[in-house]
Chain A
Amino acid sequence: MTPDGDEADPNTVSERTTQRAPSDDPETRDRPSGSATMASVTETKPPSTGSSRTTSGGVGERVFRGLTTGSGLVVVAAIALIGLFLVVQAVPSLLANNANFLTSPDFNTSDAGNLRFGIRDLLAVTLLSSLMALAIAMPIGMGIALFLTQYTPARLARPFSYVIGLLAAVPSIVFGLWGILVLAPAIEPIAQFLQTYLGWFFLFAPGNLPVLTGTIFTGGIVLAIMILPIITATTREVFAQTPRFQIEAAQALGATRWEVIRMAVLPYGRSGFIAASMLGLGRALGETIAVLIVIRTATSPSHLSLFDGGATFASKIAAAASEFSQPLPTGAYIAAGLVLFVLTFVVNALARVVAGGKVNG
């Protein structure tokens, strides 16, 4: 869990390597064996004391076990119900859709008798802004995680991480507000510069907005700031778990600090870092209000430029929320929400698989 835990553990090299493989959390490793002994104690006790209680315990035990299991099932049921009800509500609108749901750039739901909606542009804007955020936040997040675990003295590491954590405490609407009113005008010259000199590259080509503020470019930067604490917190935790003996072995070979990082810390923490980045991506894909405020809507379709405007899945839904009255048009937005749900489900599930138990949450 913490580097201190590793230090206190006077294991040999081989033991430590085996401990690393399944899980690095000593508590979770100990738990199954610990509870196994517990279970055997409770099972063997009644005969020895001559009590008439059954092995499953009294009424209280059964009720309590049922309550806790039920609460666990609530979570499973919640996910299943989210999927189910979004599908149920989306299907009638998808059947009534007169455009291709996957390839149409339109999203026209004003006439319930002639629905024309597709997710092409929503997907493009969502992916462009999220991937841009990821491209900015990944290197910086890794840098901060290294700084906090390998460079900062232990006494300062805590307050420094707390400061980075403050970024996560700022509500997303405040990020949106600051992004459009303060940040956007300030970075307009940078956007202008990129468009003037790199405009031949499709990402920096002139977009479908008349202005250079409130573009995907601005939104991507705001999203990068928002996912930075997520990436940093998780990556830092994994880097801090790097086995002490690996670091010391590298140091004993005369490695500089950077070489220690390259030989010991990065190989150990790579999967955790990738998982952390995917958690960040999941957050960026679903971010609603900051994107709704920052990225302006555009009337013409996207050209895959960072200087386009438009809407992401989330911001499209939120923008139309006040007009949810008729079932069919509403279903069109629920269909978009369903795609977003599937997208974040896949990204988060992948993050968990990649992490292989190293990262929690």
Chain B
Amino acid sequence: MSAALDAPERPAVPATFRNVSTARKVKNQAATVLVTLAFLVALVPLVWLLVSVLIKGVPAIVSADWWTRSLSGVTPDEVRGGVYHAIVGTLVQALIAGIIAVPVGILAAVYLVEYGRGRLAKITSFMVDILSGVPSIVAALFIFALFISIGGLSQSGFLVGLALVLLMLPVVIRNTEEMLQLVPDELREASYALGIPKWKTILRIVLPTALSGTVTGVMLAFARVMGETAPVLVLVGYARAINFNPFEGNQASLPLLIYTELSTNPSAAGQLRIWGGALTLILIVMVFQLAASVISRYSAISK
């Protein structure tokens, strides 16, 4: 409107907005195409992997025995038995790790957010980053050196749990830390104003407010450690039968079952077990991931 009115008054001035030149348009289009392609390229392996695992794994896991039986007494080339023993081992070892890593991780996060000042806090925060980058095989070697070479213990599921603690800790700490930082300071100050000491404020006000986010972090940490294979290769032997006791004897776990079948059993039954085991492992990890995202939806504080 106003442009049309203004036009007669200053006729010699060139148009304010020139069309975007072809070169710039082409570059812009090319960038859009490339960026979209990058996303699509990443979907290819994801879909391909999930579809192959589903196609090859579903025939194995549909039998009732798969979820309720072990491989005890089953010969390698027999399509029989299940992976109950490996599921038990995976859960028991993760549980041991969780019992140690969750309280220590949450307390360490409380330290970093509520108490940590100065150099020690900086070093701690730095070491959490370093710990999150420690390869699982190095964590396993450390536990091996400490408890088996020097301590004289024999291999067991418990030692796997200890190695998993090292891998779980940074995940728990970082997630809890993030949630604690989201708790509004007004809540803390209101509590102090009532004369409640800091530690009670943290335990009764801050941690409950951050609870759902913390639980989400714990779930993600479980999902991460259950697929770890390096610690079980170094720290425990494979058993084809059920072993509920992590302190004694060999204990199977899903990754160890997959690796053992892959490296020692070329038969069709072995192939079926490998893919069935992979699908089972993915399903269990997904359950924890899903639980994490469901819980985070009910979070008390929004990001």
Contacts and interface: CB of A to CB of B under 8 A. Distances in A.
A89 B141 CA distance: 10
Interface residues of A, number: 109
A348 B286 CA distance: 28
Given A139-B38, A256-B20, A182 B28 contact: no
A172 interface: yes
Contact of B104 (A74, A139, A285, A321): A74
A327 B274 CA distance: 33
B138 A340 contact: yes
A173 B135 contact: no
B134 interface: yes
Interface in A202-259: 225, 228, 232, 254, 256-259
Contacts of B124: 72-73, 75-76
30 contacts: A42-B192, A60-B199, A65-B115, A67-B107, A68-B114, A71-B104, A75-B169, A78-B131, A79-B130, A140-B41, A169-B285, A170-B46, A170-B285, A171-B285, A172-B229, A173-B229, A177-B258, A177-B278, A256-B25, A257-B28, A259-B24, A279-B133, A289-B230, A289-B259, A293-B262, A330-B144, A330-B149, A340-B135, A345-B133, A351-B129
B141 A86 contact: yes
Given A82-B139, A360-B178, A178 B229 contact: no
A86 B142 contact: yes
Which DSSP category, helix, strand, loop or mixed, fits chain A's interface? helix
Interface in A133-150: 139-144, 146-148, 150
A68 B115 contact: yes
Contacts of A322: 233
B9 interface: no
Contact of B255 (A78, A89, A173): A173
A13 interface: no
A333 B145 CA distance: 11
Interface stretch (B65-73, B76-84, B181-189, B240-248): B181-189
Interface string A14-36: 00000000000101101100110
B42 A288 contact: no
B197 A88 contact: no
Contacts of B150: 85, 88-89
Which DSSP category, helix, strand, loop or mixed, fits chain B's interface? helix
Interface stretch (B47-55, B91-99, B208-216): B47-55
Interface in A307-361: 313-314, 317-318, 321-322, 324, 327, 330, 333-334, 337, 340-341, 344-345, 347-349, 351-352, 360-361
B38 A144 contact: yes
Contacts of B303: 1-2
Contact of A348 (B28, B129, B144, B226): B129
Interface stretch (A96-104, A114-122, A160-168, A297-305): A160-168
Given A71-B104, A72-B121, A173-B278, A79 B52 contact: no
Q: Which of B24, B31, B121, B255 has the most chain A CB within a 10 Å cutoff?
A: B31
B43 interface: yes
Q: Which 5 residue pairs are nearest across A and B when measured between Cβ atoms?
A: A286-B135, A171-B227, A143-B38, A348-B133, A64-B199
B10 interface: no
Interface of B: 17, 20, 24-25, 27-28, 30-32, 34-39, 41-43, 45-46, 48-49, 52-53, 103-108, 110-116, 120-121, 123-124, 126-142, 144-146, 148-150, 166, 169-170, 173-174, 178, 181-182, 185, 188-189, 192-193, 195, 197-200, 202-203, 223, 226-230, 233-234, 255, 258-259, 262, 274-275, 278, 281-282, 285-286, 289, 293, 303
B137 A286 contact: yes
A6 to B, nearest CB: 13
Contacts of B230: 288-289, 314, 318
A37 B114 CA distance: 13
Q: Which of B108, B113, B200 has the most chain A CB within a 10 Å cutoff?
A: B108
B49 A178 contact: yes
Contacts of A174: 49, 53, 227, 258, 278, 281-282
Contacts of B38: 139-144, 146-147
Contact of A340 (B32, B110, B137, B178): B137
Interface of A: 1-2, 25, 27-28, 30-31, 34-35, 37-38, 41-42, 45, 49, 57-58, 60-61, 63-65, 67-76, 78-79, 81-82, 85-86, 88-89, 139-144, 146-148, 150-151, 160, 162-164, 166-167, 169-175, 177-178, 182-183, 225, 228, 232, 254, 256-259, 261, 279, 282-283, 285-289, 293, 313-314, 317-318, 321-322, 324, 327, 330, 333-334, 337, 340-341, 344-345, 347-349, 351-352, 360-361
B169 A167 contact: no
Contacts of A147: 35-36, 38-39
A79 B129 CA distance: 11
A63 B178 CA distance: 24
Q: Which of A60, A160, A171, A340 has the most chain B CB within a 10 Å cutoff?
A: A171
A318 B234 contact: yes
A337 B113 contact: no
A162 B113 CA distance: 28
B175 to A, nearest CB: 9
Given A69-B120, A333-B141, 11 more contacts: A38-B188, A71-B111, A86-B141, A172-B228, A174-B282, A289-B230, A318-B233, A318-B234, A330-B149, A340-B138, A360-B178
A151 B34 CA distance: 12
B120 A72 contact: yes
A361 B132 contact: yes
